[in-house]
Structure 1
Amino acid sequence: MPGTSDAVLLTDVVLRDGLQDEPVFVPVRDRIAIAEALSAAGLRSIEAASVVNPARVPQMAGAEEMIAGLPKDDPVRYSVLALNARGVERAVAAGAREITVVASAGQGHSRANAGRSTQEALAGIGDAVARAASEYPDAVFTAGVATAFVCPFDGEVPASQLADVVRGFADMGITRVGLADTLGTATPEQVMRSLRAVRSAFPGIDFGLHLHNARGQALHTVDAALDAGVTRFDSAAGGYGGCPFAPGAHGNLATEELVAHLHSRGVHTGIDEAALADAVGLVRACLARAEPVAA
């Protein structure tokens, strides 16, 4: 169990995973204001955008403008998500220098989310990462595995199937991988069983967890992961989020809930709870005044 001097790194994903599942479009100026508020609260890692086809996810339109408008003089590490080769190309061309590439462990979710099998998605991403790394040597690539534990179409994902996806990212030279409980229904026992398997198979990879919260069990998973030495977690201010292509997906573990829980355990986050509450209030205000997405 981490002691009071130990720290974890939280990545807030409300600007991407949170907003993508809301029925409104939050303008870029408001998204940048949210990023600034999260930074002011002490967040040092923020997933700021997803470079995807706006016809499929209209809430993420304006990704390039968002990337260009992010603060350049604060200590935050802003990441941008890409699902395919075109997304990687758009992200680096827009100036993003930390890109999170994503593939699904569940084949059904991969076809719904990326329009191709997991193997096809990994192959396309791998080629794009190699090209971008050659052209932009300052770019950093991390990875996320969607439906790492449970797929809405295929059910429970075997640890061996998850390991195949992690191997694909490892072959790209990626050393930081987040495992997502996209539906929020995986039990802590299942998460830890799969996590132990991939950590044993890939000792050179730093694994983190991206937890949704269907049954109020996400904090139990956090506790088990902390005790196992995991120090990176994703969460979303206000608990917003979900996946438009994963039926039954629940909202993310709320950043404010996670921070309060970690502080109660004596785990250092560097985040001010009062300022974080202000940021959550801003998210809610921006959503309340946003226009509905076009049907």
Structure 2
Amino acid sequence: MFSLPNKATIIEVGPRDGLQNESRTVPTEAKLAFIAALQAAGIQEMELASFVSPKWVPQMGDARDILAQAPKSGRQIVLTPNAKGIDRALAAGAEAIAVFVGVSDSFNKKNINKTTDESMTALEPLIRNLKDEGIFVRACISTAFYCPYEGAIDPQATLSLCKRFIKLGVDELSVADTIGMANPKESYSLFKLLRDEFPGTLVAAHFHDTRRMAIANIVAALQAGIDRFDTSAGGLGGCPFAPGATGNVATEDVVHMLHRMGIDTGIDEEKLAEAVQVIEPHVSKSILTGMYTLYKNRSEAT
């Protein structure tokens, strides 16, 4: 029998990654209610918003208001693409910041018009400054397995990029299967490599469910020693710069699976389903993830 952790941490990305590609404008009040409901379910780490240009991601135009008005609970992370975004986030009171770079040059150029190396060169002094100020820094590693433009990514290239971030003193690596093409063997192999290389660093797995293998990939990551997972309530999500990428793996499905495996998350499943109900009327995507559908059908029948 393979070894499993007793506890796992869920990093909820629904309010940011889940909504960033939503075609309908979600009111700020609805986002805040969603965040509060997720917190009430027991989620202690969450991506609230991103400080990006509203021109490119209109859904995130209220990031300052979200950060100012969201109930203060646990680690509240905001995504920032560059120096301007970091300055805006800090001015708004952010205490945990995520930066992102794609392993793939092609993806990175489509996303922020820079190669991977150019992105890192620009980020290095910014990360050092953030750490000097005591800010928690999360490094999001995009296209860690596959790129929509370049195909399969060499694991050594992902490892090399992670090493550059570790040298800068980041607190956490969030390693993403951005377009949902990884399989469990690849998940185990890469996360075992990273876990062995960085035993003292927080490492989170971030899976999209394009080919319905996200849950299997999470089990493989668990076997590799990973106990932190990015998930999105309702399976919401997608990336405007990653053609074909579907939503993130659903928080409620992952939490249910972990609990059935005897792994504690500290999250109340029924309250989590209620949080999905809060956001469902405001999104265009049909929220039909397994555990949420079962809960909703049960609630409507009573």
TM-score (norm 1): 0.92
1:27-78 deviation line (CA, Å, top 9, x unaligned) = 2221111110000011111110011111011111111111111213x3x211
1:122 aligned partner, one-letter code: M
Q: How far off its partner does 1:273 sit?
A: 0.9
1:291 is matched with which residue? Answer: none
Verify: 1:15 aligned to 2:15, yes or no: yes
Q: How far off its partner does 1:205 sit?
A: 2.3
Question: Is contact 1:35–1:48 with CA below 8 Å preserved after alignment?
Answer: yes
1:252 is matched with which residue? Answer: 248
| CA distance in 2 between partners of 1:155 and 1:194 (Å) | 16
Question: Is contact 1:180–1:211 with CA below 8 Å preserved after alignment?
Answer: yes
1:132 is matched with which residue? Answer: 130
| CA distance in 1 between partners of 2:93 and 2:28 (Å) | 16
| CA distance in 1 between partners of 2:57 and 2:102 (Å) | 17
2:46 is matched with which residue? Answer: 46
| CA distance in 1 between partners of 2:171 and 2:67 (Å) | 24
Q: How far off its partner does 1:133 sit?
A: 3.4
SS for the counterpart of 1:184 is coil
SS for the counterpart of 1:223 is helix
- Do the aligned partners of residues 229 and 198 (structure 1) sit closer, same or farther apart at CA in structure 2, a change above 3 Å counting? closer
SS for the counterpart of 1:144 is strand
2:144 is matched with which residue? Answer: 148
Verify: 1:86 aligned to 2:88, yes or no: no
| CA distance in 2 between partners of 1:13 and 1:199 (Å) | 22
| CA distance in 2 between partners of 1:262 and 1:79 (Å) | 23
Verify: 1:204 aligned to 2:200, yes or no: yes
Q: How far off its partner does 1:193 sit?
A: 1.7
SS for the counterpart of 2:230 is strand
How many aligned positions are there? Answer: 282
1:94-143 deviation line (CA, Å, top 9, x unaligned) = 10101111111111110111110011111111211223333xx2311111
2:265 is matched with which residue? Answer: 269
Q: Identity rate of aligned residues, in percent?
A: 38
2:4 is matched with which residue? Answer: 2
Structure 1: runs of 5+ lacking an equivalent? 289-295
2:154 aligned partner, one-letter code: P
2:234 is matched with which residue? Answer: 238
Question: Is contact 2:195–2:226 with CA below 8 Å preserved after alignment?
Answer: no
2:280 is matched with which residue? Answer: 284
